[in-house]
Amino acid sequence: MESTLMRVTFSKEFPGLGKRIRNYRQASNKPLAELAAAAGISVPHWNRVENEKIRELPIATLRGIEKALGVDLGVSFDD
């Protein structure tokens, strides 16, 4: 049986998300390089997320950041 892969895209703004990530990172007392590696992203990319320089953040990246920080940022697409 064959299956078809579909990509579904959602757009929703989360003001202040970068600042919340920064606050959790600082509270964690873990090195940024360690957190970025655990999230599967580079340190410069993590910085762009924190500084809200990223226009689109894949949910997989966000979930990786949450996992690295050990938090749930409360980002949901349920409305």
**Residue 77, domain member (yes or no):** no
- The total of structural domains in the chain comes to 1
Q: Is residue 8 part of a domain?
A: no
Q: List the one residue out of 16, 30, 6 whose CA is nearest residue 75.
A: 16
Predicted confidence at residue 11, as pLDDT, reads 75
Q: Read off the pLDDT band of 10 (50, 70, 90).
A: low
Q: Which residue has the tokens 């953040």?
A: 57
Report if residue 5 sits inside a domain.
no
Q: Within a domain: residue 11?
A: no
- The residue-averaged pLDDT of 37-44 equals 98
Provide the domain limits for residue 21.
17-69
Residue-level pLDDT at 49: 96
- Please check whether residue 9 lies inside any domain of the structure: no
Q: Is residue 47 part of a domain?
A: yes
Say if residue 4's pLDDT is above 70: yes
pLDDT of residue 48: 97
Please indicate, yes or no, if residue 26 is contained in any of the structural domains.
yes
- pLDDT tens by residue, 17-33: 999 999 999 999 999 99
CATH of the domain at 21: 1.10.260.40
**Residue 64 falls inside a structural domain:** yes
